[in-house]
Amino acid sequence: MSGLRFVDVCSGGGGLALGLEQAGFEPVLLLDDKPVACETLRMNRPKWNVRQTDLLDFDPVEAQETYDVDLLSAGLPRVKSSATAKRVETGIELRLLKAAVYLAHAVQPRALLIENVPGLVDDVAFEEVRTFIQRELEHLGYGFHWFILNAADFGVPQDRKQGVLIALKREFFDSFRQPVPTVTRHISVGQALHASMSARGWAGADAWATGANQVAPTLVGGSENRGGADLGLTGTKKAWARMGINGGALADEVPGPDGTQESDTSGSPLKKLTVDQTAILQSFPADWNFAGRKTARYRQIGHASPPPVGKALGLAVAEALRA
């Protein structure tokens, strides 16, 4: 088996696909329903085959390149928390998850990767979902590995736990090994953002970085149906404040020599992150650009799977498929 080929659905800003590319996979098709996400993918990888289509409407018969692929990957919108999971039977998140499973049923890749909330792995509230997935695929010869990864263990400066399903055809199942952490010490927000915070000569950057000595809370992209970009709910914003960051909005520029951010009129002594800094916290490479205005760019970043996690998963799947 030479080059490994994959189809990626709900591709968003490309974090999972980029990580899989770094692991040696070649995409034959990337699917997303949002024009701005498709623009991001095409802007960064003009040769990628990107299709703007809702997964719920996608028919693989119209895309023959999806057949006989090694991997189907899906960084799906987050299904509801355990408190609300019983009420999502008509929710778009669950419908998309089921659509990804039906697509796997249709194209039968050698491996399936679904990345979602940690609760999907072992929370009793998601038992029906897990049962559905296994019932649909087990008779096709798939075995299932369910596990939880924390992106911080793979060099991402963020406490971001992800529930993962790797389903493999039986002949590859026993060869799969769950990715092991690639770092022995987590990278703090201060370490990750010191260079950018000091880029305009802010005299307080060193002291700020020393105080921001924890990994970031989980970045959230927010809902498409509500206001601008912020870093999360009240508890998350308090965690950001303890690291000297105002989580209520994003700035257009990093601090100047005296610490001023011209776009910040809040009067708060806390600093605001820029969109580019949130991309650093998701471990996107500096040359990966995002289309759209500030909120649209941030949502793509916040909803993404960090590329280092995608790479680690891709390497693990590749090793199993080549065993």
Tens-place pLDDT, residues 34-43: 999 999 999 9
Sheet holding 111-116, edge to edge: 50-52, 25-32, 4-9, 71-75, 111-116, 161-169, 142-150
Task: Answer positive or negative: Cα dihedral of 102, 107, 112, 116.
Answer: negative
**DSSP bridge pairs for 143:** 168
Please say if the pLDDT value at position 185 is more than 90: yes
CA distance 186 to 189: 10
What average pLDDT does this structure show over 13-22? 98
Instruction: Give the model's pLDDT for residue 48.
Output: 98
Q: What is the pLDDT of residues 275-311, one digit of tens each?
A: 999 999 999 999 999 999 999 999 999 999 999 999 9
The domain limits of the chain are 4-183+306-322
| Residue 45 vs residue 220, higher pLDDT | 45
Is residue 196 very low, low, confident or very high in pLDDT (cuts 50, 70, 90)?
very high
CA distance 107 to 9: 13
CA distance 192 to 282: 10
> CA distances (Å), 243 to each of 71, 208, 236, 247, 273, in order?
40, 8, 11, 10, 12
SS3 label, residue 315: helix
Please say if the pLDDT value at position 221 is more than 90: no
Instruction: Give the model's pLDDT for residue 89.
Output: 45
> Mean pLDDT, the chain, as a whole number?
94
Is residue 227 very low, low, confident or very high in pLDDT (cuts 50, 70, 90)?
low
SS3 label, residue 208: helix
- 254 touches 199 (CB < 8 A): yes
CA distance 308 to 173: 23
CA distance 268 to 105: 53
Please say if the pLDDT value at position 142 is more than 50: yes
**DSSP bridge pairs for 30:** 8, 50
> If you ran DSSP here, which 8-state letter would residue 188 be given?
P
> If you ran DSSP here, which 8-state letter would residue 154 be given?
G
CA distance 232 to 319: 37
Q: Which residue has the tokens 């000297």?
A: 244
Is residue 320 very low, low, confident or very high in pLDDT (cuts 50, 70, 90)?
very high
Please say if the pLDDT value at position 91 is more than 50: yes
Instruction: Give the model's pLDDT for residue 229.
Output: 77
Is residue 226 very low, low, confident or very high in pLDDT (cuts 50, 70, 90)?
low
Instruction: Give the model's pLDDT for residue 88.
Output: 43
Instruction: Give the model's pLDDT for residue 275.
Output: 97
- pLDDT above 70: percentage of residues in the chain: 94
Tokens linked to 62: 């119209």
Question: How many Å separate Cα 50 from the centre of its chain?
Answer: 18
Q: What is the pLDDT of residues 244-255, one digit of tens each?
A: 999 999 999 999
Is residue 223 very low, low, confident or very high in pLDDT (cuts 50, 70, 90)?
low
Q: Which residue has the tokens 């909120």?
A: 295
Please say if the pLDDT value at position 234 is more than 60: yes
Which secondary structure element, helix H or strand E, spans residue 143, and what is its range? strand 142-150
Report the chain's terminal Cα–Cα distance, integer Å: 10
Instruction: Give the model's pLDDT for residue 228.
Output: 67
Architecture of domain 4-183+306-322: 3-Layer(aba) Sandwich (3.40)
CA distance 80 to 164: 15
